C-alpha cells in the first residue's frame, strides 16, 4: 500500500489479525519493510495485526529532502498510526528504527503499550580519543574546504555505507546520527525489552545498559552475534518477543 505521509509517498504493509493488538515494525537505516520478515510472519501466524513500512529514502518510499530531521520520520509514523486508526499498539524497532521509537514513546507516553528495542541507536556514543581526534580533524578540514581556504577531496572519507548513500540522504543522515536521545529515553514509561547482540560494534552493549538505566520499566536480554542479533538468532528472538508481548 502507499499513502502520502508528511508530504511523501510512503510504502507500507498492513496485515490484520484476530487479536486486538497491532505490532509496528520499524527497520534500521538502509533496511526496508522486509527487514523484519521473519518475525512479521511469526506474529501474523499468532494472529497479531502487523504493520511495517519503508522509511523515507528506502525501499519503495520517496526520498526526503535535505532538510529532514528525526522529527520528520516520527511524523511519518504518527500519521500512519492515525490514518489507519491503530489502537493497542506495540512497537519492535531495530537500530535507526529505535531512534524513532524512543522519541515517539517519549513524546507520546500513552501511545505504545509495549516496546522492543533491538540493537537500537540513539544513545550518545563513547568515542575513543583516537576516534574523537579523527572526527574533530574531519570537521575542521571540512570547514576549511567549505570556506575555500584549502582544496581537499573528502569523498574518500567516511564508511562504505555512507559513501554509497544517495547524496540527498547524506545531510539527513548527518543530522540524525548527531541527535542524541539520552534525555528522551528517561521520559519513556512504556514497558520496554532491550534485545542486544553481545558483540554489537555499531551500537555497543553499553548503550543497552544506558537505556536500561534510563527507562525505569525495562530489561535487557543479550543474544549471540552483532548488530543484527534478531537475524542471527531468529527462532530465539521470535520466542522472546512473543513471550514479552503476551505478558500481562
Residue among 28, 29, 44, 46 at smallest CA distance from 92: 28
CA dihedral 34, 39, 40, 44 (to 10 degrees): 160
pLDDT digits (tens, 9 = 90+) for 35-53: 999 999 999 999 999 999 9
pLDDT value at 18 more than 80: yes
The predicted structure's pLDDT at residue 105: 98
Whole-model pTM? 0.89
Percentage of residues of the chain with pLDDT beyond 90: 81
Instruction: Write the burial class of residue 179 (CB in 10 Å: 0-12 exposed, 13-18 middle, 19+ buried).
Output: middle
pLDDT digits (tens, 9 = 90+) for 171-222: 999 999 999 999 999 999 999 999 999 999 999 999 999 999 999 999 999 9
Confidence of residue 5 (pLDDT cuts 50, 70, 90): very high
Confidence of residue 248 (pLDDT cuts 50, 70, 90): confident
The predicted structure's pLDDT at residue 149: 66
At the fourth CATH level, the homologous superfamily of domain 2-126+169-246 is Alpha/Beta hydrolase fold, catalytic domain (3.40.50.1820)
Partners of 195 in the β-ladder: 118, 221
Confidence of residue 160 (pLDDT cuts 50, 70, 90): low
CA dihedral 229, 40, 20, 11 (to 10 degrees): 110
Domain residue limits, the chain: 2-126+169-246
The predicted structure's pLDDT at residue 146: 73
Cell 521473519 belongs to which residue?
38
Amino acid at each position: 500500500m502507499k499513502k502520502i505521509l508528511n508530504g511523501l509517498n510512503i510504502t507500507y504493509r498492513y496485515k490484520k489479525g484476530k487479536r486486538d493488538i497491532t505490532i509496528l515494525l520499524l527497520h534500521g537505516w538502509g533496511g526496508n519493510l522486509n527487514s523484519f520478515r521473519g518475525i512479521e510472519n511469526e506474529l501474523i501466524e499468532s494472529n497479531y495485526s502487523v504493520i511495517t513500512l519503508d522509511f523515507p529514502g528506502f525501499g519503495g518510499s520517496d526520498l526526503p529532502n535535505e532538510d529532514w530531521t528525526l522529527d520528520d520520520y516520527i511524523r511519518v509514523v504518527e500519521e500512519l498510526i492515525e490514518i489507519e486508526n491503530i489502537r493497542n499498539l506495540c512497537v519492535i524497532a531495530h537500530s535507526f528504527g529505535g531512534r524513532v521509537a524512543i522519541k515517539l514513546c517519549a513524546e507520546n507516553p500513552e501511545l505504545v503499550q509495549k516496546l522492543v528495542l533491538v540493537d537500537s541507536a540513539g544513545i550518545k556514543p563513547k568515542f575513543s580519543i583516537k576516534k574523537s581526534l579523527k572526527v574533530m580533524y574531519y570537521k575542521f578540514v571540512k570547514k576549511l574546504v567549505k570556506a575555500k581556504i584549502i582544496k581537499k577531496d573528502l569523498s574518500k572519507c567516511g564508511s562504505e555505507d555512507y559513501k554509497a548513500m544517495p547524496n540527498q540522504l547524506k545531510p539527513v543522515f548527518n543530522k540524525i546520527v548527531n541527535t542524541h536521545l539520552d534525555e528522551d529515553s528517561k521520559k519513556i514509561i512504556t514497558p520496554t525489552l532491550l534485545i542486544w547482540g553481545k558483540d554489537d560494534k555499531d551500537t555497543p552493549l553499553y548503550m543497552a545498559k544506558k537505556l536500561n538505566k534510563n527507562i525505569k520499566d525495562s530489561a535487557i536480554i543479550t543474544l549471540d552475534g552483532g548488530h543484527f542479533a534478531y537475524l542471527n538468532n531468529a527462532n530465539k528472538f521470535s520466542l522472546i518477543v512473543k513471550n514479552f508481548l503476551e505478558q500481562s
